[in-house]
Amino acid sequence: MSRYRLSRLLATSLGTVAITAVTACATGPTSDSPSAGASLAETRSSGPSRWELTRWQRADGSLRDIPHGDNREPIVFNFSDGIDSSQGTVSGTTGCNRFTGGYGKTSTGIRFERVAGTRMACPGARMELESALLTAMQAPFTTVGTKPSADNLGRQIIWKTGSGELLQFAEREGVGRRGDKVDPATGNVPGREKVVYIDSKRVECTGVGKMQCYRWRESPGVPWQLWYGPIEGLDYEPGVTYQLRVREYRVPDAPADAGAVRWQLMNVESRSRDN
């Protein structure tokens, strides 16, 4: 099936028939190894992006009820360097809790790794949805359709899970659409740069439920402080102390359970392993 036809199908994929047609064209095994292939060639290749899960079709064709829109907390993935980056960090919400982890492009789609999150208890339906999503993220996703942005609606993508379910995501503003967060004159994300020191171990803390926080400080010898959010772009390794240069920026209209101030990694100034 041509990419043109896939795009046409995506444009009408609010109907089960259209999305099922896309499924029929998604064949072939997934790959765990990153690739420079063109499976996401219709997307841009740099800058943070924010994606919302808007549709979930089970393998039998039935639809899951997922929260989205203004009335309920949506399921959102924030990618540190876009969905077609060779690797990066991902964070967001999974229906109940917040999560962080790594991601990377594969020859057929995308994979997730080292995913961890908070452990807040939620009503049964939300916990069931979250469990299903985290289980699906343990295997690579295969890209079966993409649609460029049009009429300010944002780009869309359909990924097929290892169990044959279809997840449709739409790009949103926030950490967000690259054109919204990147200064076109400089290519930089607005905000201020700062140097921070990150401790070699994270500690349990309480945000929305129990979670793991970074310990950080602005210079050696001063008391540690807690950082509740992710550090976008950092492939954190326990047992290693870091000196980082980060860009600190504010996210407009951030969800209630996500910090309005974010850090994006600019450079690892130094790192030292504990003895």
Same domain, residue pair 80 and 215? no
Same domain, residue pair 134 and 153? yes
The pLDDT of residue 49 is 82
Same domain, residue pair 138 and 14? yes
Could you report the per-residue pLDDT of 226-236, keeping only the tens digit for each?
Answer: 888 788 878 88
Residues 6+ apart with CB under 8 A from 145: 6, 7, 9, 10, 13, 22, 156, 157, 158
Same domain, residue pair 24 and 140? yes
Range name among 33-47, 54-68, 122-136, 192-206 with the lowest pLDDT average: 33-47
Q: Is 187 among the domain residues?
A: no
Same domain, residue pair 175 and 205? no
Confidence of residue 142 (pLDDT cuts 50, 70, 90): very high
DSSP 4: H
Q: Give percent of the chain with pLDDT exceeding 90.
A: 29
In the listed set 148, 181, 214, which residue is the last one of a domain according to the structure? 181
Same domain, residue pair 90 and 199? no
Supply the range of the domain harboring residue 155. Answer: 3-181
H or E segment and range at residue 138: none
Same domain, residue pair 100 and 236? no
Confidence of residue 149 (pLDDT cuts 50, 70, 90): low
Same domain, residue pair 66 and 93? yes
Q: Closest Cα to residue 177, out of 212, 153, 210?
A: 153
pLDDT exceeds cutoff 50 at 64: yes
Same domain, residue pair 80 and 138? yes
Same domain, residue pair 172 and 239? no
As to burial, measured by CB atoms within 10 angstroms (0-12 exposed, 13-18 middle, 19+ buried), residue 123 is: exposed
Please spell the DSSP secondary structure of 253-274, one letter per residue.
T--TTS-SEEEEEEEEEEEEE-
With beta carbons less than 8 A apart as the criterion, state whether 35 and 67 touch: no
In the listed set 147, 181, 215, which residue is the last one of a domain according to the structure? 181
The pLDDT of residue 10 is 41
Could you report the per-residue pLDDT of 79-122, keeping only the tens digit for each?
Answer: 888 888 888 888 888 888 888 889 999 999 999 998 888 777 87
The pLDDT of residue 20 is 38
